[in-house]
Amino acid sequence: MIDGALSIEWATTVLFYRAVHVIEAWFALRGVHHQSHTVRTRAVYRELPEVAADYVDLLEASRTARYEPDGLLDTTEYDRLSAAFVRVDARVRSEVR
């Protein structure tokens, strides 16, 4: 659940960037670093297809939260996105440690 002082939109953005950092750590262990979301997303589809849908869901929700005037999210949506992050994190973190 989210602290009342932190908006759902910012919390969603944080979830996405947490996923970015975990995924980039996974790729860094393989000597790969991405310079854009587009390039990273393609690489996730190619190298981590089992979490690609969750990663893209987080990416799109983060963009909606930040750039869409009507991009307000609710707690149900945040909970769904939080579960998506947990799946991404669980898949890649085991190989990063």
- Give percent of the chain above pLDDT 90: 70
Confidence (pLDDT) at 69: 66
d(CA 85, CA 13): 11
- Residues 85-94 have a mean pLDDT of 93
Q: Label residue 90 by pLDDT band (50, 70, 90).
A: very high
User: pTM of the predicted model, to two decimals?
Assistant: 0.88
d(CA 12, CA 63): 9
93 vs 18, which has greater pLDDT? 18
List all residues 6 or more positions away from 56 whose beta carbon is below 8 Å from its beta carbon. 41, 44
Confidence (pLDDT) at 8: 87
The first and second tokens of residue 79, run together, are 């909970």
For the chain, counts of helices (H) and of strands (E): 4, 0
d(CA 78, CA 7): 10
pLDDT of 62 strictly over 80: yes
pLDDT of 2 strictly over 60: no
